[in-house]
Structure 1
Amino acid sequence: MSRDIKLSLVVPVYFEEEVINQFIKEVVEELDILKINYEVIFIDDGSTDNTVNLIKDEAKENDNIKLLELSYNHGKQAAVTAGINYSKGEYLIYMDPDLQDPPKEIKNFIVEIEKGYDLVFGVRKQKKDSLKNRFFSKIFWSVLDKYTGLDLPRGLAVMRIFNRDFAERFLMYKEQNRFIEGIFMHIGMNQSVIEIEQRERFAGVSKFNFKRKMNLAFDAIFDFSELPLKLAVRFGIFLALIGTLALFVILIVKLFFVDFQPGWPSIFGFLILSLGIQLFFIGLLALYIGRIYRESKSRPLFSIKDTTNI
């Protein structure tokens, strides 16, 4: 990569005071070795620990280190969008500061994208994480694969690189409910994957717990699939057929076999079951309507409180 081409690193941070100095040290060392013009854009998503102050101290010594402070916790998807929006590089790398996807892989991403690709995903050779987190991650990706129709690479890492044209197309997607991997796949263009060696997390614990993973998975399902609505229709048809068949059987039995008097408990139980099913599917529709309402307000995706070196 020639000296006049800038590389932007987009790094969302949230309570990362234990790892941020080491991350900056390794990233700057790697980029200095590569001898390229770069910027590292940190996007703080409402941290209340010492993360912001540590980044500002580093930014005083190196004006290639930049900081966006969001006014409150918007969520990682919005934070990444803010970083891409403010980046200036011809190539952009999105990565986390936990050092699980090591900075030494930056050169491999650059080599791959210079082959003419618009987007290069990182795929982990082996996930270095606890058994519990690996189990939860497997559930997360299984849900995505089965219910969204997104053909995401297996073992997908956070770290990836894309060019300016791809970034501009990404910024055209204005939806409030953002699933970045889904948007990346929807953009399409010329994509590739490379394998990367994952490290153990340098310090601290992941903020992306199972609850957040599953919330993101359901966001992906509702944003990129009509499957819940289709299942509701199919289930409704199934219940209608079962109900029709049951009425037919009761009629035949009463007319030709047994003269019985139906009891009110069975009717009452059936009514409660029917009400529960109706409320479930009304709630399902309400989720979609709520998302439509949220999109219709067209609020800004993020709110900036302060900036450093920008």
Structure 2
Amino acid sequence: MLSVVIPVYNEEDGLAALFDRLYPALDALGLRYEVIFINDGSRDRSPGILAEQFKRRPDVTRVILFNGNFGQHRAILAGFAHCRGERIVTLDADLQNPPEDIATLLAKMDEGHDYVGSIRRMRQDAAWRRWASKAMNGLRAKLTRINITDQGCMLRAYSRDIVSLINQCGEMNTFIPALAYQFARNPAEVVVGHEERFAGESKYSLYSLIRLNFDLVTSFSVVPLQWFSLLGMAISAGAGLLVLLLLGRRLIIGPEEGGLFTLFAIAFFLIGLALFGIGLIGEYVGRIYSEVRQRPRYVISTVLEQRE
């Protein structure tokens, strides 16, 4: 009835604590469930710890081992491809989202919602991450029609229909919560807890977060290209008016000296704008290039599971 999908990357120090809280919380639900761990190319003892946990609870535990690091969202996609539950919950392995809140998401689904997102209560992240997240939430809301209050929280619940539709998508780079929101007929959100990491540190650097948000924006909207086109049209019109103004001054006042640095400033501004536009187009072209190569999104080396 329930599948819990958990991507794991270098989490050896916190896995024991995760097991101690996760399984009792799921047992208390009184449902048939499975937990799917996806090891995303960890370089520490995480694969061995997951294998030991599979031996302890083979009836409800499945482990997918990647042969490299493919990223959190591709790990979740692998979990979606292998899960068997009617309801699927995604959860990070760092214990920042309490496993006990899974019951809150399922209770919301009982009200008839096919996708339930989450909003972190009193986030325990650094100030710069909270500010950056808020800024990107606002930008994403303007660029797309996806209304997700807290896009960075991966504690989310999906119906089997939503996961089946996601599995039909063959995109190399995507953002799963936004994709699910587009497919959902009756989405909802709930407030969940947020704690400090039990051990280790975040695997997302500033660069990784920027890349993730590029995936979100470029995968679900062409508005940036449209805005840039409008900006180019406005600048062209302004440049035409400036030419007419300078021509009129030349005819009325005659030759003038000065204004060299102003022209330099305008030229540098236009050059920077052109480079920004080339980079923006490059982001879209790069994603097209990734898609047309049709390489596998991930490579699985081993699956540990108890076959029925």
Name the structure 2 match of 1:28.
23
8 Å contact from structure 1 (residues 119, 163) kept in 2: yes
Amino acid at match of 2:71: G
Residue correspondence of structure 1 range 116-195 to structure 2 within 5 A: 116-154=112-150, 157-195=153-191
Unaligned runs of 5+ in 2: none
8 Å contact from structure 1 (residues 122, 156) kept in 2: no
| Distance in structure 1 (CA, Å) of the matches to 2:120 and 2:266 | 51
Name the structure 2 match of 1:3.
none
Name the structure 1 match of 2:303.
307
Q: 2:279 aligns with which of 269, 278, 283?
A: 283
| Distance in structure 2 (CA, Å) of the matches to 1:7 and 1:283 | 43
Q: What secondary structure does 1:78 align onto?
A: helix
8 Å contact from structure 1 (residues 96, 158) kept in 2: yes
Q: What secondary structure does 1:81 align onto?
A: helix
Deviation of 1:111 (Å): 2.2
Judged with a 3 Å threshold, the aligned counterparts in structure 2 of structure 1 residues 282 and 45 are, in CA distance, closer, same or farther, namely same
Name the structure 2 match of 1:243.
239
Deviation of 1:127 (Å): 1.5
Judged with a 3 Å threshold, the aligned counterparts in structure 2 of structure 1 residues 269 and 179 are, in CA distance, closer, same or farther, namely same
Residue correspondence of structure 1 range 236-275 to structure 2 within 5 A: 236-260=232-256, 274-275=270-271
| Distance in structure 2 (CA, Å) of the matches to 1:270 and 1:128 | 44
Aligned residues: 305
Q: What secondary structure does 2:6 align onto?
A: strand
| Distance in structure 1 (CA, Å) of the matches to 2:200 and 2:280 | 37
Give a deviation string over 1:136-169, Cα, whole Å, max 9, x none. Answer: 3323323323333321134763211122111101
Name the structure 2 match of 1:97.
93
| Distance in structure 2 (CA, Å) of the matches to 1:138 and 1:240 | 34
Judged with a 3 Å threshold, the aligned counterparts in structure 2 of structure 1 residues 261 and 48 are, in CA distance, closer, same or farther, namely same
8 Å contact from structure 2 (residues 137, 149) kept in 1: no
- Following TM superposition, the consecutive aligned residue runs of length 4 or more in structure 1 with deviations greater than 4 angstroms are 260-276
| Distance in structure 2 (CA, Å) of the matches to 1:102 and 1:61 | 22
Q: What secondary structure does 2:283 align onto?
A: helix
8 Å contact from structure 1 (residues 124, 156) kept in 2: no
Judged with a 3 Å threshold, the aligned counterparts in structure 2 of structure 1 residues 132 and 290 are, in CA distance, closer, same or farther, namely closer
Residue correspondence of structure 1 range 30-109 to structure 2 within 5 A: 30-63=25-58, 64-109=60-105
Amino acid at match of 2:38: I
Deviation of 1:60 (Å): 0.9
Unaligned runs of 5+ in 1: 1-5
Deviation of 1:23 (Å): 0.6
Q: Superposition RMSD on alpha carbons, in Å? A: 2.4
| Distance in structure 2 (CA, Å) of the matches to 1:269 and 1:100 | 48
Q: What secondary structure does 1:48 align onto?
A: coil
Q: What secondary structure does 1:66 align onto?
A: strand
